Copies of this chain bind each other. A is one copy, B any other.
């Protein structure tokens, strides 16, 4: 079970290659990689800066990961979130889950990214040709996270 905040580029494929390697109890691995898009709301994105709240971020991610493990029989979990300035095409976040069965891996992966998006203290600043702007929270993210309330 690993949660990591990284300040430079990371390689999701390389991280996944090492994830759950050599285990014979894993039947399925699900993953989600979030990537900086080159466009948002019709405007070009030149770069994206992720600000976060050091300390609280790690605490919240650890809590979200523990909640996922309490809800699904997970054999392993990996969460990597990049902070700082990054360019279009670069990965922002990787969530991976391993379980004996696919439903647990897939559902937990969706849960982790939904809760991370609404409960971990990160803020996105987009650089566009007309200046920098803070990304606004989306109601659809709240709705996605609310699916998992109980």
Contact = CB atoms under 8 A, between A and B. Distances in A.
A25 B13 contact: no
A37 B12 contact: no
Contacts of A12: 16, 29
A87 B63 CA distance: 36
Interface stretch (A1-9, A50-58, A97-105, A126-134): A97-105
Interface string A11-32: 1111011000011111111111
Nearest to A16: B13
A109 interface: yes
Interface of A: 11-14, 16-17, 22-35, 37-39, 88-89, 100, 102-103, 105-106, 109-110, 113, 140, 144
